Amino acid sequence: MKSVYEIVYKYVLPSIKRRLAEELQFLGFTEREVARMLSISQSLISRYNKGERGALINIKLFNDIDLQVRKLAREIAENKLDSMQIYVELHKFAAYFMVKRYGCVLHTKIDGINPVKCNVCSTIFSPHIIKS
């Protein structure tokens, strides 16, 4: 069985970062500027835009997380956060995603786990990661 951390690293975080990059570009920033803000390469932003990376999970379908991502984008746009603060927020969003059991369908497809019997994410991630 794949570790929940592997699921987060390979699928959840890239999808959240993709959505954040998309929102920053919506706010008027170029690929280059977004890459600098997020401390990632411009080629990765391009891959996000082409759907080559981070496209497995549509974060827009999860209104609570999408709202937080849009709020984070505005804070980044207003230069209120440094790269470490952005990093922390992204990981909080990923943990929240898993606590809310949004990743269960994906984990079931990958490993065939029974989400009814699984409580790994709710056990290891705090349910109070982000405030609404």
Residues 1-22 have pLDDT tens digits of 888 899 999 999 999 999 999 9
Q: Is residue 72 part of a domain?
A: yes
Q: Is residue 18 part of a domain?
A: yes
Q: Is residue 102 part of a domain?
A: no
Three-state DSSP class for 55? Answer: coil
Q: Is residue 43 part of a domain?
A: yes
Stated pTM of the model: 0.90
Q: Is residue 110 part of a domain?
A: no
How many domains is the chain built from?
A: 1
pLDDT tens-digit series, residues 72-87: 999 999 999 999 999 9
Query: What is the residue range of 61's domain?
Result: 4-91
Q: Is residue 103 part of a domain?
A: no
Q: Is residue 34 part of a domain?
A: yes
Long-range contacts of 24-30 (CB under 8 A, 24+ apart): 24/73, 24/76, 24/77, 25/49, 26/73, 27/73, 27/74, 27/77, 29/77
